[in-house]
A and B are shown apart, each in its own frame.
Chain A
Amino acid sequence: AQSVTQLDSQVPVFEEAPVELRCNYSSSVSVYLFWYVQYPNQGLQLLLKYLSGSTLVESINGFEAEFNKSQTSFHLRKPSVHISDTAEYFCAVSRLGAQKLVFGQGTRLTINP
């Protein structure tokens, strides 16, 4: 079975500072990896995903994540955050050939001015 660990439940940062949200997964088989974001009072939206190919994936709003197979990690980074990035971020994994997503517990990112 797959499992996902998000090491930080809350991450407070100042605006324009860099941020890293950590995600580690456990699986005995190959997986797909996802980051979803949930803005206040909104539904889950896909931020970025790794299916195959380049291990570095990027989103349209400046986030990136790197798939590290040896460390079983898929950490999310942004070099300079904005107030609008305030949200809860969920890392998720699905096993190749399976359909369901297994989510981490989420990391609440709070941006202070």
Chain B
Amino acid sequence: GAGVSQSPSNKVTEKGKDVELRCDPISGHTALYWYRQSLGQGLEFLIYFQGNSAPDKSGLPSDRFSAERTGGSVSTLTIQRTQQEDSAVYLCASSFGVPDTQYFGPGTRLTVL
């Protein structure tokens, strides 16, 4: 079946602009996660959804970052007033339950100029 998909695959933006990153989890997966992969920080957890609620937002680096999930499916990660340090690959993962294997999408490479 289809895996986790993310769009866009690449995003180049100017400092100060807002960006939205989209994640489509595997159908039927109730849990959804966002991570960030950057050269300096490695792989970092950002936020976790169970259904439409986010019981763990502890990894969001600042209030410029927010995420929502609707219909227990698609999720959008929004970064407001982007900064150069936001440049990274943003990864989405989903799982059927907890604990369960997290299946990762291909990521969105964000470059902030």
Q: Take A99-B31, A100-B45, A103-B43 as given contacts and tell me if A43 and B91 are in contact as well, using a CB distance cutoff of 8 Å.
A: yes
Q: Take A43-B91, A100-B56 as given contacts and tell me if A105 and B42 are in contact as well, using a CB distance cutoff of 8 Å.
A: yes
State whether A45 touches B104 (Cβ < 8 A): yes
Distance in angstroms between the alpha carbons of A106 and B93 in the assembled complex: 18
State whether B42 touches A103 (Cβ < 8 A): yes
Asked whether A111 is an interface residue with its Cβ less than 8 Å from the other chain, the reply is no
Distance in angstroms between the alpha carbons of A100 and B93 in the assembled complex: 10
Asked whether B62 is an interface residue with its Cβ less than 8 Å from the other chain, the reply is no
Per-residue interface assignment for chain A, residues 91 to 103, with 1 indicating a CB less than 8 Å from any chain B CB and 0 otherwise: 0101010111111
Instruction: Count residues of B near A (Cβ-Cβ below 8 Å).
Output: 23
Distance in angstroms between the alpha carbons of A32 and B50 in the assembled complex: 19
Q: Which residue of A lies closest to B47 (CB)?
A: A100
CB distance from B47 to the nearest CB of A (A): 9
Find chain B residues with CB under 8 A from A36 CB.
Answer: 104
Binds A, one of B18-26, B66-74, B78-86, B95-103: B95-103
Per-residue interface assignment for chain A, residues 37 to 65, with 1 indicating a CB less than 8 Å from any chain B CB and 0 otherwise: 00000111110010100000000000000
State whether A101 touches B102 (Cβ < 8 A): yes
Known: A36-B104, A46-B101, A100-B56. 6 other contacts (CB 8 A): A44-B104, A94-B99, A101-B43, A101-B45, A105-B42, A106-B42
**A interface vs B, CB < 8 Å?**
32, 36, 42-46, 49, 51, 90, 92, 94, 96, 98-106
A-B contact pairs, 26 of them (CB 8 A): A32-B99, A36-B104, A43-B104, A43-B106, A43-B107, A44-B91, A45-B104, A46-B102, A46-B103, A51-B99, A92-B43, A94-B99, A96-B99, A99-B48, A99-B50, A99-B56, A99-B99, A100-B33, A100-B59, A101-B35, A101-B45, A101-B102, A103-B42, A103-B43, A103-B44, A106-B42
